[in-house]
Homo-oligomer: A and B are copies of this chain.
Amino acid sequence: MPSMNMIQALNSALDAKMAEDPNVLSFGEDAGYFGGVFRVTDQLQQKYGLTRSFDAPIAEGGIAAAGIGMAVYGLRPVIEMQFADYIYPAYDQIVSEAAKIRYRSGGEFTVPITIRSPYGGGIFGGQTHSQSPESLFTHIAGLKVVIPSNPYDAKGLLIASIEDDDPVVFFEPKRLYNGPFDGWHDRPVSPWAGHPLADVPEGRYAEPLGKARLMREGADVTLLAYGTMVWVSLAAAEHAGVDAEVIDLRTLVPLDIDAIVESVKKTGRCVIVHEAPRTSGFGAELSALVQEHCFHHLEAPIERVTGWDTPYPHAFEWEYFPGPKRVAEAIKRAMEG
């Protein structure tokens, strides 16, 4: 089985679907000939032709709207938003249209679109190349929200998203494109090569939406994370020396509530980690759900470790980024109760 980094795995997902389904096409800013600023659509135009993987005008709203129109027609467009920070001009089309067309038309028109977007920090991208806007989409009924943390899931979840008959917002943690970054920014980073989750089969396979992945079994505390924070959480558990259970949520909507509840009922403690600002981040929803479902099992307050309630500050990336130290401290607080 070839070892792929996340970029290659995502590219392989698109390749597999485009090979098998002529209704799948891809477009976005710089996503055609050039293959995308992160190279996720590399060589697809060369392989499948100009009309199946192409450049788009710098108009995220237009890209989303055109994709919606295509999806209504019966295609399965995969559109790229160059950075999640630039998804806002498309916000109306995504939340007012893609999310609601099935409902408002009584089920007659549907929008099987996949909206890919690199997201998250840790790449020294400053305010507008580092944001994590996932909770702005989890709030919208009608959207699914998917965030893989490794090459194997990236491919399987992207294929599942493309095959899904509902609109999916698919955020790619760009800090993980090349390796399982654990947040120790001052230590050498490891590449994906050789990592078991970088063993990515050729061809089509799908990972179901709505199923979390247990990354580490543990008895003492449950860590809920997604994207880059999965690796940070694993590192933090190790750093804290605590037998933590680490759950990679993988899809925020639909959420694998059973996996979460089962784990927290077992451990009685819960730490939630995300990069987005704290207030009204997805951690708030997770915290609310956990206390609603596990109130009588909780032995300590649920902790949230998150980005601060500030814009993403270029020079203070590592103070802003919820690194293993901060997560480990939260684990300790959760353990002390």
Contacts and interface: CB of A to CB of B under 8 A. Distances in A.
Contacts of A128: 96
A139 B92 CA distance: 17
Interface in A153-206: none
Interface stretch (A11-19, A209-217, A219-227, A298-306): A298-306
Nearest to A90: B92
Contacts of A96: 85, 88, 128
Contacts of A279: 138-139, 141, 253, 285
Nearest to A60: B92
Chain A residues touching B, range: 35 or more
Given A141-B311, A311-B142, A283 B288 contact: yes
B139 A280 contact: yes
A336 interface: no
A141 B288 contact: no
Contacts of A135: 135, 139, 280
A139 to B, nearest CB: 4
B276 A284 contact: no
A335 interface: no
Interface in A117-131: 127-128
Interface string A276-304: 11011111110110011001001011111
Contact of A91 (B88, B103, B104, B298): B88
A22 interface: no
Interface of A: 61, 85, 88-89, 91-92, 95-96, 99-100, 103-104, 127-128, 135-136, 138-142, 253, 276-277, 279-285, 287-288, 291-292, 295, 298, 300-304, 308-311
